[in-house]
Structure 1
Amino acid sequence: MTTEQQLRDAIGRPENEHLEFKEAQRNFDREKLFRYCVALANEGGGNLVLGVTDGQPRQIVGTNCFNSLDGTKHDILDTLRFRVDIYEILVFEKRVLTFFCPRRPNGTPQHYKGQYMMRSGESLVPMTPDRLQRIFSEVVPDFSKKTCEGTIHTDLASEAITEFRRQWVRKSGNDALGHVSDEQLLEDAGLTDNGRVTYAALVLLGTPQAVKHLLPQAEVIFEYRNSDSVIEYQDRVEYRAGFFLWRNEIWEKINARNETHSYRDSMFRYNIQAFNESVIREALLNAIAHREYCQGGSIFVRQFPSRLEVVSPGGFPSGITADNIIGKQQHRNRCIAEALQHCGLVERSGQGADRIFRTCIMESKKRPDYTGSDDNQVSLILDGQLRDPHFVKYLNRLIKELNMDLVLEDFLVLDRVREGESIPENLKTHFDALIDKDAIEKTGRGRGVRYILSRALYENMGEAGGAYIHHEGFEKNDDQQLVLQHIRNSGSKGATMGEFEQILPNKTRPQIRALLRRLKASGRIRVQGRTRGARWHLAETGNDL
């Protein structure tokens, strides 16, 4: 974080393990500085910002701490043995300091005076033993490559080997693979080591009996519930066998309750399933290839009418976080991943998560949600609701009629603009390019500047009269658009008057009330509660547009 604009963008975001604000107007304890640098490095790297208040709404107050930046850099390096870059940013003559702490080396936690620090809410605490163990184990060899003592070839299901062979021949186009022996096929795939069966072979090809006795945690448990409020499941199946024995069966189980959303485009009607097959299969492959098999837990697939959860044991592989998962690749179980690559089920280029994000955005569903992940599990929530049919049509026409070659970053930008979200620094180049292509337009002036999906572009694509004005993602009135987008983002908790005042700083409270009354009278929003307790929600609408 080196510029005023980057600082202002960060001020609007909540604190997390990579970002910490401290007021520190007059002083900031040097010992505390060292501990925060260690904690941020152990959490994957991040910024400590001095001269900005902790609580929301944050204010830039400036700081008089650490006047000698070079001296402070040398102190940190001499004490902690790693470099921290310090930047001074002046905002209206108020001095703000940002300390950028790099990520710790792979397999090596940072420490200060023998203490390995981490963040816990607003506090710094010593790292837990299991967290330390996880870091130290980052350099442990691939578990799935190890041979499973006592396992023989008959512990691998012949029908699973046949399916594995068929997929490999299909992907490679090498018909010779169809004629080699099972033993040679497995050796060529790296699933056996001089005839000894690996754990990867057991995970992918094992018989139910072998998996049960030799690696019982290598199971996937499917559960279906027809409501969030229901504790008991209505359906449950345990898949404890090689992946190639059940990979189609679990999709059929999910698809049996897969709702279909319809929308019209001109004379034609199109259908979008709540759960896209390619997305579900990719999520399952990621769980199988990247879970921690040394832990005893199972992979859980929990289906609800409008969402699906995939929870797998072990946190993200080293170097992967919920923030950088797009475009990153780090195999925890390389032997499993490479066998799946032979079959064309897993990409070598790390495009699995990219494909999931792209498909969800193109189908106007919420972006995949990894926020429930921690050191002990990776939690992925996939939305099953068609949120905005007009946005689906808009994207399809950008691609098909205007021949725009959109990459994933473009989809992320367009989705954020539609939702009224800020654009992160790493997407700014794509944001500017989309403005240049007239896919996004700027409206308002000064602090009231807003960005929306291009009205002229939308109208020139032949949408039926009035569709632009009446679609909540393309409101002709910019203030209405912002209000509706914020209410949508607030979900079931609803939005408050105080929040509306923050997103419409140029409006008085009576003006905002008048706007809300108009939206309520048009049947687009509803209110629960009164006076200070009032919360605004979107009115119930159907998907058949």
Structure 2
Amino acid sequence: MNETELLAYLKQLCGTEDEKCEHKEFSRLRHALANNAGKDIVSYVSALANMEGGILLIGVKDGLSQIVGIDDTSDLTPQRLPQRLCELCTNLSTERLSVDEYITSDTEKKVWVLHVPRHCPRKPVYAHKKAWQRNGESLIGLTQERERVILAEPMGIADDWSMAIVEEASIDDLSQEAITVAREEYKTKHPGLALEVEGWDDATFLNKAKLAIGGRLTRAALLLLGKEESSHLLAPAVPQISWVLKDEEGVEQGYEHFGLPILLSARKVHEKIRNHRIRYMSESKLFPEEVQKYDPWVIYEALHNCIAHQDYELGGRINVVEFPDRLVISNLGSFIPGSVENVIRQDAPPERYRNPFLSRAMVEINMIDTIGSGIRRIFSKMKQRYFPMPDYRISPERVEVTIYGRILDERYSELLARDNSLTLEAVIALDRIAKKLPVDRETIKELRSAGLVEGRVPNLYISAKVAQATGEKAKYTRYRGMDKQYYFDLIVKGIQQHGFLTRKDIDDLLTDKLPDYMNEKQRRTKISNLINELSNKLEKICNEGSDRSPKWVLCEDRDITNNY
């Protein structure tokens, strides 16, 4: 092909720069391979691989306006480049990694078409010890959200850890007590089959409950129903739930590990949790006089979700940490939906999830209601109790949920009690504001329009309208603060009484009267601004001391009490 024909072909192959295509001159190829992080060939290879794979055209101008060709390739050839890239890019797949070389017949310009394969499941591709990605036609560092998606990718049905047959296992490796409990829960889930279940032997029941396949035991069966002494059959997985008790300072007060069968261990952990009844008093009288510290269903659902979605191949255990006012429950493995917001917003089962065989078996024996609905129901339950929403902390290797056993912000809880028309999404946003957590601008705008919040980001607070309706006027005033004239009057009257005030005197006078949301630095700045306006702009007070040791007095011959 001549230069015109090759350019037309390349435009047809990869005409637009996007997440799958990139155009680069890189005419001095050996210097462009790996000498400039974020701008060299290996960085673009990492970025394309961490999307869906793609093509890197080398030897052309951006936009394919011209073929410039490449030279100075040193020892690099189309055959050697893939090998060098695999040496420089961690996790880069060799499959479909190739280079096509084109040399124009009329101008003898050389162009390489580098075909970059998609990353392997759960393996981001790194260059310069950093993972990259495409954002449209731009190259950026791999975002947390994209990393979570990659790490949560399914390995295929054959790689469903829970579905694997354990050839060495038999029914003798299962706990009869656990089987009995599982039968009762199966009948609860399928009341129409209750009489029929009584006639099934254990092997039939295990098949019907989707714990066995053709009479052969799966890892799911051993995990949920296995005897403690059979845990070696699941190695290197650690089939345990650890309960840890801590005080307010986080100092450990006690712990206990619970192994197989996990079906029974979940119940034992639940029994360890101090779920006593607590009394709440409220001016509105809308709260029940007594409630349980934690909703039992919420505890079970959160714990069973951890059991269902734990990445057992990572060799860790499920943890339940009990503090005086909250539970922190965690499991290993990425959060496949990407974010809790996605789960709440979609309100539908995820398209894929970890351990699907185990999850289906847990549905059959009534450990979880339906696959994918648990998180939204947990949030709804907490809304009904007027308690804070759960907090999720998600990392590529771990998911942690905090469930609160007390009210953190009475204004927020009173609002839920008075207005049951609030959507779950609005309640979650108000919960984040009460906890001083970030909320997106569009949501803030909607809450302002509804008259639910006031203040400026990041110091948002429940509005006066809500505070008045809930009997929280005093707390609202302390949080929002008084108007400027109030502080001016305090300073002037203080000087009238004492003749003069130092800066420390003014600090002592005003500090505890400023809004609750202000920190120490913000309070000092606010007081400085008040003094500056009162002295320079309004000329009501004058400094008879020095800048370092001010001595504020009333300016002479002025009406100091009314004319601000």
TM-score class, shorter: 0.5 to 0.7
1:254 offset after TM fit, Å?
0.4
User: Counterpart of 2:521?
Assistant: 497
- Write the mapping of 1:479-494 to structure 2, written as runs, cut at 5 A: 483-484=515-516, 486=517
1:213 offset after TM fit, Å?
5.1
User: Counterpart of 1:147?
Assistant: 165
User: Counterpart of 1:469?
Assistant: 473
The alignment status of 1:351 with 2:351, answered yes or no, reads no
Between 1:378-387 and 1:242-251, the stretch displaced more is 378-387
User: Counterpart of 1:204?
Assistant: 224
User: Counterpart of 1:440?
Assistant: 452
- Write the mapping of 1:49-448 to structure 2, written as runs, cut at 5 A: 107=121, 111=125, 117=131, 138-139=155-156, 141-176=159-194, 177-181=196-200, 182-211=202-231, 214-215=234-235, 217-230=238-251, 233-255=252-274, 258=276, 260=278, 262-266=280-284, 270-313=289-332, 315-321=333-339, 324=342, 326=344, 327=347, 329=350, 330-348=352-370, 350-360=372-382, 367-371=389-393, 373-399=394-420, 404=421, 406-419=422-435, 422-424=438-440, 427=443, 432=446, 438=450, 440=452
Q: Which amino acid aligns with 1:245?
A: L
Q: Which amino acid aligns with 2:131?
A: M
Q: Which amino acid aligns with 1:183?
A: A
Distance of aligned partners of 1:394 and 1:478 in 2 relative to their CA distance in 1, 3 Å threshold: farther
Contact 2:183 2:197 in 1 (8 A): yes
- Structure having the higher Rg: 2
Contact 1:341 1:347 in 2 (8 A): yes
| 1:216-250 deviations in Å (ceiling 9; x for gaps) | 611111121234352xx433222111222233221
CA distance in 1, matches of 2:426, 2:126: 42
| 1:155-185 deviations in Å (ceiling 9; x for gaps) | 2222222222222222333234533413222
Please report the TM-score for the alignment, with normalisation by the length of structure 1.
0.59
1:319 offset after TM fit, Å?
4.5
Provide the secondary structure at the position in 1 that maps to 2:38. Answer: helix
Q: Where does structure 1 lack aligned partners over 5 or more consecutive residues?
A: 1-28, 46-67, 73-78, 81-103, 488-494, 502-506, 515-545
CA distance in 1, matches of 2:475, 2:342: 33
CA distance in 1, matches of 2:39, 2:295: 47
| 1:328-357 deviations in Å (ceiling 9; x for gaps) | 734211111112222443243522222333
Identical pairs, percent: 23
Q: Which amino acid aligns with 1:302?
A: V
Number of matched residues? 394
Q: Where does structure 2 lack aligned partners over 5 or more consecutive residues?
A: 1-34, 53-60, 66-84, 90-117, 134-139, 484-511, 534-564
Between 1:278-287 and 1:162-171, the stretch displaced more is 162-171
| 1:74-104 deviations in Å (ceiling 9; x for gaps) | xxxxx99xxxxxxxxxxxxxxxxxxxxxxx8
CA distance in 1, matches of 2:278, 2:297: 16
1:263 offset after TM fit, Å?
2.5
CA distance in 2, matches of 1:409, 1:159: 42
Distance of aligned partners of 1:449 and 1:392 in 2 relative to their CA distance in 1, 3 Å threshold: closer
1:111 offset after TM fit, Å?
4.6
User: Counterpart of 2:38?
Assistant: 32
Contact 1:307 1:383 in 2 (8 A): yes
Contact 1:475 1:481 in 2 (8 A): no
Contact 1:220 1:300 in 2 (8 A): yes
Contact 1:220 1:240 in 2 (8 A): yes
1:197 offset after TM fit, Å?
0.4
Contact 1:203 1:242 in 2 (8 A): yes
CA distance in 2, matches of 1:238, 1:70: 61
Contact 1:363 1:386 in 2 (8 A): no
Provide the secondary structure at the position in 2 that maps to 1:471. Answer: helix
Contact 2:245 2:254 in 1 (8 A): yes
Please report the TM-score for the alignment, with normalisation by the length of structure 2.
0.57
